[in-house]
Structure 1
Amino acid sequence: MEPSRRSPPPSMETGRGEDEASQAARERIPRIDPYGFERPADFDYASYEDFFSTYLRILTNRAIKWSKLLKGKNSVQKNMKVKRYVRKGVPNEHRAFVWMAISGAQAQMDQNPGYYRKLLEGERNDKLVESIKTDMNRTFPDNVKFRQTADPCLQHTLYNVLVAYGHHNRGVGYCQGMNFLAGYLLLITKSEEQSFWLLDALVGRILPDYYSPAMMGLKTDQEVLGELVKMKIPSVANLMDRHNVMWTLVVSRWFICLFIDILPVETVLRIWDCLFYEGSKIIFRVALTLIKQHQASILEATNFPDICEKFKQVTKGPFVTECHTFMQKIFTEPGSLSTATITKLRKSCREKLLVQG
């Protein structure tokens, strides 16, 4: 398993030695990553190879520990040991199994045998189907597995998962952004039915009201992040207030896509490991860590476009590429973040939004 579809920033070193190192690394590292994403033209192969050589040892160590933990088991019980293991990363070969277990998706699938197939065979809502078809070619254009020329082409399985889900959860139907969630799930599970039930866990339970027509859950959580920044990084909150920048303008894609296409793929998967176990609180931990780590740079902004650019920059570079260190940081950098605090802030932010209409 190999992380990252985005490059760390180019090395500060220059000269012939660096060129030779980059060329050698380019020859060793495939142009397409293990998930099917093409590496960008400016990908820094040498820096990436330095990072991955260290991370590979961590992956090997985790794989041994997980194999011992799961040996002979057909389920995963939630406990402190499993929580600790999840935070340190689930090996890709065990990810589908572990996500299904810790999210409750496996239990739902077991309780509803044949349900997914019935949804696909049932009557179709033409408007829903048309909306989903429109987004097929827009889903991961830089991933070879989603191209129509691929065999098999994941567009077909993605279409099935989204159509089934739209008929299962009629209150949500289909919303842009869900195609990326389902697409990531398919890359990991390689199973339509498992991806359907994991999408149900995300949209139906972990992120309620994020993808409903009013998107009230999404809007609320963006406001909650703003309140948390006021509490934990007040200088950044003051900057946002001074320039009248709404949080939705700089972080909405973080929440809608759960960091897909924002952070490197392996970092996103490590975040999702924790999201399926611990719930939506993880999104706040990631967002606060990104902001806190780069607060000095953000505070250099002097106007609205500057602020937007700074927030784009916080999701790039070695800090987010080195996913193991990054994941350790999200549990220390923001400090304490209790469920009670989140619940209280959600209540007050939701009431404020409803008053604003």
Structure 2
Amino acid sequence: MEERNRNRETQEQQLNEFDKSTAKERIDRIDPYGFERSTDFDYDAYEEFMSVYLAILTRRSIKWSKLLKGNKKVGKSLKVKRYVRKGIPNEHRSLIWMVSSGAQAQMDQNPGYYSKLLNGEKDAKLVDAINTDLHRTFPDNVLFRKTAEPSLQKALFNVLVAYGQHNKTVGYCQGMNFVTGYLIIITKDEEKSFWLLDALLGRILPDYYSPDMLGLKADQEVLGELVKVKVPGVWQMMEQHGVMWTLVVSRWFICLFVDVLPVETVLRIWDCLFYEGSKILFRVALTLIKHNQTTILQARNFPDVCDKFKQIIKGHFVEDCHGFMQSIFIEPGSLPMTTINKLREKCQASLLAQGL
């Protein structure tokens, strides 16, 4: 009897340990933002990185708390710019994005506007277009599944419909769903996500999502012009193989690196995007290309080039978000906004002359 009890206790202990193990495995498979990790996810490398990065995040959190001191206002200054580049802790991210982008000011000046848009009459074509893309938005994120409680699909639908009603010139186009999804994950608030989307599409990235997408197309050509100067070997290879920039970097720009780079890296990019503007997208793209030029230059034909551009958005370099963000302000070198604006004018004029 005593031996039987000992055996039962041993079995129960093993079952408990198994339950804990499987529960941990389930948790580990989902990242802090609700995304399922791939089957080949390197947990050891991730733990090694996080052991260092968590200490950085703790230091940044203390510094940000001291800077804000419970205040919900933060001005533009070299100190704040430096803080933003070093990363905004998640607990302050929504606030800093809202304030630095001007979204908070717009929301304060238009009380009840978002609710009015949601409660108003909705365009049937707009609703159909958004509904078509809902199930395609982050199928690997447990928070966006219909079975989630609450499901973020509803919030995503509301923000996109409201924005389509607000900006009828843009309405809705693919890419906006992924960008809006990230906004909702971080803000956990529909109205804030709406005003941040308005800041991005209306001020930071004008004409990226307009019907002719002139801003988006021009910026991809601008990147090509910058590569011609800063990484001439890659530019020459692209010319040699007749590869248009839009074929390899369009998703980088239209999704603002969402579903291109790791989540933490994208959020660090967006910290700077909301504070410093669209120049950050060029810094990221140039860093990816310049840092990996040896890999890219191994391409021997058109499919090779496309494959190399898929390779360079993976691996330790982009997963180490802190190191990567330090690189984007070093590797591309000087990048004055005046240069970018001149190139934009030139590329837009060329595209218009070609009839887009």
TM-score, normalised with respect to structure 1: 0.92
After superposition, the C-alpha distances for 1:33-59 in whole angstroms (9 at most, x for unaligned) are: 110000101111111111111111101
Map 1:293-332 to 2 at 5 A.
293-332=291-330
User: How far, CA to CA, are the matches of 2:333 and 2:27 in structure 1?
Assistant: 37
User: How far, CA to CA, are the matches of 1:74 and 1:176 in structure 2?
Assistant: 33
User: How far, CA to CA, are the matches of 1:250 and 1:27 in structure 2?
Assistant: 35
**Does structure 2 retain, via aligned residues, the 8 Å contact 1:99–1:276?**
yes
Larger Rg: 2
4+ runs of 1 displaced by more than 4 Å? 26-29
Map 1:1-357 to 2 at 5 A.
30-357=28-355
Bigger fraction of residues in helix: 2
Deviation at 1:28, TM superposition (A): 10
Deviation at 1:72, TM superposition (A): 2.8
User: How far, CA to CA, are the matches of 1:111 and 1:90 in structure 2?
Assistant: 26
User: How far, CA to CA, are the matches of 1:86 and 1:313 in structure 2?
Assistant: 28
Cα RMSD after superposing both structures: 1.3
Task: Evaluate the alpha carbon distance shift between residue 29 and residue 296 of structure 1 in structure 2; reply closer, same or farther with a 3 A threshold.
Answer: farther
Q: Percent identity?
A: 72
Unaligned 5+ segments in structure 2 are 1-20
Deviation at 1:29, TM superposition (A): 6.8
Unaligned 5+ segments in structure 1 are 1-22
User: How far, CA to CA, are the matches of 1:282 and 1:45 in structure 2?
Assistant: 30
**Does structure 2 retain, via aligned residues, the 8 Å contact 1:29–1:45?**
no
* Partner of residue 15, structure 1: none
User: How far, CA to CA, are the matches of 2:181 and 2:74 in structure 1?
Assistant: 25
TM-score, normalised with respect to structure 2: 0.92
User: How far, CA to CA, are the matches of 1:204 and 1:167 in structure 2?
Assistant: 14
Q: Give the letter aligned to residue 37 of structure 2.
A: R
> 1:302 aligns to what SS in structure 2?
coil
**Does structure 2 retain, via aligned residues, the 8 Å contact 1:207–1:217?**
yes
Q: Give the letter aligned to residue 184 of structure 2.
A: L
Q: Give the letter aligned to residue 318 of structure 2.
A: V
After superposition, the C-alpha distances for 1:300-341 in whole angstroms (9 at most, x for unaligned) are: 100000000000001000000000000000001000000100
Q: Which is further off, 154-163 or 66-75? A: 66-75
User: How far, CA to CA, are the matches of 2:144 and 2:72 in structure 1?
Assistant: 31
